[in-house]
A and B are shown apart, each in its own frame.
Chain A
Amino acid sequence: MPEFWINMGPQHPMTHGLWNMKVKVDGETITDAKPEIGYLHRGYEKIMEVREFQKNVVLTDRLCYVSSITWSHAYCLAVEKMMGLETPERGQWIRVISLELQRIASHLMWLASYGPDLGLLTGLLWCLRERELFLDLIQLMSGARMNQNYPRVGGVRNDLPENFEAMCKRSIEHFLEKLENEYPKIFHESKVFRMRTEGVGTLSAADAINWGVTGPNLRACGVNVDLRRLDPYETYEEIDFEPQVWQDGGVGDSYARFVVRYNELRESCNIIRQALEKMPKTGPYRVKPPRRAEGEGYAKTEDSRGEALFYVIGDGDDRPYRVKIRSPVFCTMAATPILLRGNKLADVVSILGSIDVCVGEMDK
């Protein structure tokens, strides 16, 4: 039988968004693949050129709607680097807490969608149930469940509410208990889950680095790179945490990517607990930024999906002259053909689900 192309997408339950993966099959084996993206291109970089620095925060929230705070934070950090601003210490700690809460919510959303990909509907229900705890905390902090518009150029919008610390600790304790005792029963200890994920979609560390794969997908290849540690921003320097790296060999499969993200959930809880202890109880949380700015600046942060980089150029006006968004999923998408080649058609869902695609940030 001759080889032929199959369209998986743009409307396919696997894609979690609007994009098309063309796979070339020889019988059941994939010989080539070609991602087609751009269905959700909204021209962010152009739109941002006519909006003032502060108004762009609303836009960057919508880059990835399950991980809003990490994206608008990366933008604010880049603008601060350009303006030469420094956030007050309490503001930095509040940012760290909000980033980690958002990371947990984002990873849980990924796990919730990865479960049904493999036929595990219980995973969806459990993960969304626990995600509500963290969305409630984010709502308490910022007033909105999603698209929070919380970080500001120079700090954050508002201080933490009065009883936030106690509520945060209670939720985390409840969540960690589930993470230790309940979740492994349907993920780690499930024979079906492991058969679907182990040994498929392998990626070597050298390939991952050369193709620009970052974040949890890179750490699943055994490369110890976490920008919170390698290039610390905000107050991550003062926090004692361990970047989650897949230790079991230098080739990452779908299971390795799952384990890395799963362990990051626990590590993020650890970071939030430490931040609540170490942060100053009072103090300013925001400085007033200048209206106009000239110069250039960039900031890279560890987003939920990898390295987010914003490069902002100002020409002395109150709007940026040029904004460049580096989306981690965009770069990971370039490497999907080598992830898929040689695997069976039935494993495409398991592989592409495990790299955590978010079309909003990929297509910009």
Chain B
Amino acid sequence: MSTVVRGAPVVVSGRPVPSVEKEVLGGLKAAFGAKLLDGKVLRPGHLAVTIDRDDLIPVCTYLQKTIGFEHLSCITAVDWKDRFDCTYHIENYYNGCMVQVTAHIPYDDPKIKSLTGLWNAANYHEREAWDLMGIEFEGHPNLERILLPQDFKFHPLRKDFAQEVDRQYITRRKLRGGK
């Protein structure tokens, strides 16, 4: 009755490997050197690196193909008013390590290479980042709005898209006459 294909399950340890984050950071530093603008350990199993947007594809290819970071968890676009940041959370299912890769994007040219060639998971995340923040992902197969209507004119998560009221509630301090 069942048509399930029998095969060996993917082997993962399912448990964290201690002090793997230093090893991964060392590997990244050895492979990319000065291209890594910043690299630090956040807490056991978690590290953060900062790169320029041109180095995104080499760094992510190295992470996925060479040291087995097979899960792209999340893509975040941040508006810093003078530049954009695109932050990728990439996870290794074997040892539980997570790398936070931040790429800087200039404000007047919000473009970055698409990661859909490496992870299919990037597809929806990049569409969402385009929809809400207006970052253009070059090489994306189908870059159109996903959450908002197709004819929406704005990218609402940008800081210059104001909410109706800046602060919705009156704080207690304000009621007492403070600022």
Write the residues of chain A forming the contact surface with B, with a CB cutoff of 8 angstroms. Answer: 37-38, 41, 43, 45-47, 49-52, 55, 81, 194-195, 198-199, 202, 205-206, 209-212, 214, 221-226, 229-232, 243, 245, 247-251, 253, 255-256, 298, 300, 307, 309, 311, 313, 321-322, 324, 326, 330-331, 333-335, 363-364
Contacts and interface: CB of A to CB of B under 8 A. Distances in A.
A313 B169 contact: no
B146 A46 contact: no
A221 to B, nearest CB: 8
A199 B79 CA distance: 46
B4 A202 contact: yes
A292 to B, nearest CB: 13
A308 to B, nearest CB: 10
Contact of A330 (B4, B13, B14, B124): B124
Contacts of B2: 198-199, 253, 255
A250 B124 CA distance: 25
A50 B163 contact: yes
Contacts of A243: 14
A51 B12 contact: no
Contacts of A333: 124
A245 B9 contact: yes
Contact of B4 (A194, A199, A363): A199
Interface of B: 1-10, 12-16, 43, 45, 70-74, 76, 78-79, 87, 89, 91, 93, 96, 98, 100, 119-121, 123-125, 128, 132, 145-149, 156-157, 161, 163, 165-169, 171
A195 B1 contact: yes
Contacts of B93: 209, 223, 225, 230
Given A45-B157, A249-B5, A331-B125, 14 more contacts: A47-B163, A206-B10, A212-B72, A214-B71, A221-B10, A222-B9, A223-B9, A230-B15, A230-B96, A251-B5, A300-B98, A311-B76, A324-B74, A333-B124
B8 to A, nearest CB: 6
8 contacts: A45-B132, A199-B2, A199-B4, A212-B73, A212-B119, A230-B16, A322-B78, A326-B74
Nearest to B156: A46
A300 B43 CA distance: 13
Contacts of B3: 199, 202
B116 to A, nearest CB: 11
A94 B5 CA distance: 42
B76 A253 contact: no
